[in-house]
Structure 1
Amino acid sequence: MATTYWDCCSPAYVWAASRYSKSVKSGVTGCNSKDQELTYSSSLKSGCQTGGNTFACSDQRAYSSSDSLAYGFAVGKLTEMTYEEMACTCFKLTFSSSVLSGKQMIVQITNTGTYPDDHHFDLAMPGANTYGEYSSGCESEFGSSYTWANKYGGLASSSDCDSLPEILQTGCKFRFDWFEGADNQTVSYEQVYCPTSLTSISGCVRSDE
């Protein structure tokens, strides 16, 4: 299953280097509330928690390479892999639901989450669902003067993307253009080596690649 989300919270694998030092060379890059990249330190804390200072960087979102191929970042849950094994791994997803059938995305796993199914990818796209424990994360980062996505379902149309901060609007419009406003899509997947086009954005590279 593939769904979409954007809650502005710091990806869990910002802390991958300290937790899984044998698996990754460095953690995922986090940003401050001005979307400026932060150098990792043990003092970083998710901005979606009280006193936190670290959020998702706006460039860690989906983008298209062609009409049939896109790249992006995701939460991953696969019961056959541990959190350490999944840290910053990449997968090629092939969509089989009718609206996106045949399209593919290569995604890097930069975050973790809890889902009812055993094989789940939650794709990072501004303007998508903000559900979860920290559903007010975007308001914490950017303030309350914007119209944020619904907790379930996200923004309703491409024109609604104009209500977001400017740095999130391109990623939001991808969701309605290339991704055709889809959600809850069936996918097949295979693990692949991470392309530099993704690792150069996230900053996270596995030690075995």
Structure 2
Amino acid sequence: MKMLLNSTLLLLLHFIVKSEAQYSTCKNTCSVEYEDDSKWGIENNDWCIIPDSCFESNTCWASSLGYDCCEGCDIITTDEYGEWGIENGEWCGILSSCSQSTASCWAGALGYPCCEGCDVVYTDNDGKWGYEDDWCGIKESCSATTTKKTTTTTSKKTTTTTTKAPTPTQKCRCQYEACGPGICCGAGMSCVEKDGYAQCEPDPNAELRPATDCEIGPHFGQWCQGCLVTDTQTDGSLWGWENKSPCEIKPYECNEFLNASWEDAEHHWPIGEAKGSTTRYWDCCKPSCAWPGKFEYKTNIKLCNADNSPLLDNNLISGCEGGPTYTCEEQTPWAVDEVTAYGFAAANIPGLTEADWCCTCYALTFTSFPIKGKQMIVQISNTGGDLGEGHFDIQIPGGGFGLFNGCSPRYPEIPEEDWGDRNGGVTSREGCYKLPKSMQEGCLFKFDWFRGADNPEITYVKVDCPKELLELSGCTRMDE
């Protein structure tokens, strides 16, 4: 653990420059670097005499390496310095007195004692097990015995039939605590070894484990009580929003929710092959497709003023540019059934222009959690300069303004911050109730049918528009 000077060179200097009487006793090391009539160590780049106390059974040899010695004798690993255990989440040295026992208890690392006897009743990858009022590990000093697959053991008038070794019940380690063979890490963490030291670190792909060992999440956030995901971090960790604060999603408890799938459900619409992405927004602005000359239509998109009364002049300026024209409040998403929903979106379709896609409808089939297999039929009423190809920006009240904010001039009584983040919008059901009452049901769609999905991936295909969407938008194309 530290760089030593060349032992031979130092030894020559030791004889040339000083006699043994001139050397001091080692104070911070018991590591023997050379041995003649005495045992020699090195401190501060000079030789020192190893004291006899270093070889007493209760002397902590690990202190010279910056570690305490263990109170127990459970060996986790061995290196060139000696035998190591883990206690209170930290590495510690095994005292030499432990080696005086007939055998160390390997089962201690798994949370079990070792047996007094040597009767083997089960063998697994960890070792041989016995049963003495509870499972116990067979000491290595025991001679080999015949392993029984099933044994009935009677003790204290209690008869127990055992068929396999139990699952360890010891508490797993938490953030950045020591781990190792047989020492597990808590939910959302894996044991990572660096520079000869292993510790628990956040890992979104860690083995699923109930969030019962650590009071807080792997990134030191509070655990969420629910499973609605409102944010996905760059490392893949999932976060929610509860009690006005971010919280970490429990991977084990929310596994079924997050990985629910409707792929085998009875779908009412075709499933497309083209792959795309989604986001969400609600800016209250006049839809781009509503401007005259955008495409050939029989009837154009319905427009409304700030009071949601219909406007008949599609040449009026958008509310996002100081005009009186806004998206009508009825053009919000809703659930048709558990698998299907209808709504509106801005979009960018590869190989097409606004003249081709305005007021057409597409079936979006979601391919990522937590709405995998659900379908949403959207009519395209808008476009966006910030949209990539195959990108559908779904209109959901409280979904975030994006580039433009027409909601603040339309609803001046609602503070701008109540609409949520500019990109992403409100982060909880509670946030929906801060919006205008006419917007609340559409906002709750995100947390109910949409299950809090954060920009899920899709496949998509063009379909005939359902009459329900046509009635709300009022928009019909000449070529359909």
With the shorter chain as reference, the TM-score category is over 0.9
- Unmatched 5+ residue regions in structure 1? none
Alignment of 1:1-209 (within 5 A): 1-15=277-291, 18-20=292-294, 23-42=296-315, 44-50=316-322, 52-115=323-386, 117-132=388-403, 134=404, 136-146=405-415, 147-209=418-480
AA of the residue aligned to 1:197: E
Give me the whole-angstrom Cα distance separating, in 1, the residues matched to 2:422 and 2:320. 15
> Structure 1 residues 107, 41: CA separation in 2 closer, same or farther (over 3 Å shift)?
closer
Q: Which 4+ runs in 1 deviate beyond 6 A?
A: none
CA apart distance, 1:144: 4.3
| Identical amino acids, percent of aligned pairs | 40
Q: Tell me the matched-pair count.
A: 202
Deviations along 1:61-98, one digit per CA (max 9) or x if unpaired, are: 11110000000000011121111000100000000012
Give me the whole-angstrom Cα distance separating, in 1, the residues matched to 2:358 and 2:424. 27
**Larger RCO (CA within 8 A; separation ≥ 6):** 1
Q: Is the 8 A contact 1:29 1:40 kept in 2?
A: no
CA apart distance, 1:30: 1.0
AA of the residue aligned to 1:99: P
Deviations along 1:23-47, one digit per CA (max 9) or x if unpaired, are: 31122111100011211343x1100
Between structure 1 and structure 2, the one with the greater Rg is 2
Normalising by the residue count of structure 2, what TM-score does the alignment of the two structures yield? Answer: 0.41
AA of the residue aligned to 1:49: E
CA apart distance, 1:142: 0.7
Normalising by the residue count of structure 1, what TM-score does the alignment of the two structures yield? Answer: 0.92
For residue 191 of structure 1, give the secondary structure of its aligned residue in structure 2: strand
Greater fraction of residues in helix: 1
Q: Is the 8 A contact 1:12 1:110 kept in 2?
A: yes
AA of the residue aligned to 1:5: Y
Q: Is the 8 A contact 2:379 2:469 kept in 1?
A: yes
Q: Is the 8 A contact 1:77 1:115 kept in 2?
A: no
Q: Is the 8 A contact 1:13 1:110 kept in 2?
A: yes
